[in-house]
């Protein structure tokens, strides 16, 4: 086992610091790689982020008006009855956990809505927060029941 003192950085990992302003023979002499004159060659000279050379900057050209509720928008993952028909047997419970187990939704998805696309011939016990009116009618027609489960986030 090697000690801490034997550890070395790999070849070429550490480079020498660039020495500026030490004559033209040093490669970065005289202007020190900053070119001639101008704002960016001066001490402390540079432009702020978003500066466009005096032109009205983009963040001031674009109107900032109104209100957006987008960040609070709640989206639901649609699950159609045809998927339930194909993946569940008669008398099973349809819940967030069983949908994840059967691979119909991802584990990270918490907001599900059952939609009425397709026919249902099996008696299922649906325990999901959101179920469309058409889906409720088809589930109850097949002999199942819908329990609005509000445990979802």
Task: List domains and CATH numbers for the chain.
Answer: 78-146 (3.100.10.10)
Q: What is the pLDDT of residue 2?
A: 63
The Cα–Cα gap between 89 and 108 comes to 25
Average per-residue pLDDT in the chain?
90
Mean pLDDT of the region 25-49: 91
Mean pLDDT for 88-112 is 92
pLDDT for 141 = 93
Q: Are strands 125-126 and 77-80 parallel, antiparallel or unpaired?
A: unpaired
Distance between CA atoms of 133 and 115, rounded to whole angstroms? 8
Torsion of CA 142, 147, 148, 153, to 10 degrees: -110
Q: Is the pLDDT of residue 6 over 70?
A: yes
Q: What integer is the mean pLDDT of 56-78?
A: 90
Least confidently predicted of 63-67, 70-74, 117-121: 63-67
Q: Please compute the mean of the pLDDT values over residues 70-80 and round it to a whole number.
A: 92
Interval 32-49 mean pLDDT: 91
Q: How far is CA 67 from the centre of its chain?
A: 22
Name, in order, each residue with C-beta under 8 angstroms of 137's C-beta and a sequence gap of 6 or more.
116
What's the N-to-C CA distance of the chain in angstroms? Answer: 52
Q: Which of 58-72, 107-121, 139-153 has the lowest mean pLDDT?
A: 139-153
Distance CA 55, CA 46 (A): 16
97 neighbors 105 (Cβ within 8 angstroms): no
| Mean pLDDT for the stretch of residues 41-51 | 92
């Amino acid at each position: 086992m090697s000690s801490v003192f034997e550890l070395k950085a790999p070849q070429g990992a550490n480079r020498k610091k660039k020495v500026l302003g030490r004559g033209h023979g040093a490669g970065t002499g005289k202007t020190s790689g900053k070119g001639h004159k101008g704002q960016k060659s001066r001490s402390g000279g540079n432009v702020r982020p978003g500066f466009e050379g005096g032109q009205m900057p983009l963040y001031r050209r674009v109107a900032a008006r109104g209100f957006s509720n987008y960040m609070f928008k709640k989206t639901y993952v649609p699950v159609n009855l045809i998927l339930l028909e194909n993946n569940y047997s008669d008398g099973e419970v349809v819940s967030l956990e069983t949908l994840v187990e059967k691979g119909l939704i991802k584990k990270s998805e918490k907001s599900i809505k059952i939609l009425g696309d397709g026919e249902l011939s099996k008696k299922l016990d649906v325990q999901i927060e959101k179920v469309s009116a058409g889906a409720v009618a088809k589930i109850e027609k097949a002999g199942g029941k819908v329990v609005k489960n509000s445990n979802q986030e």
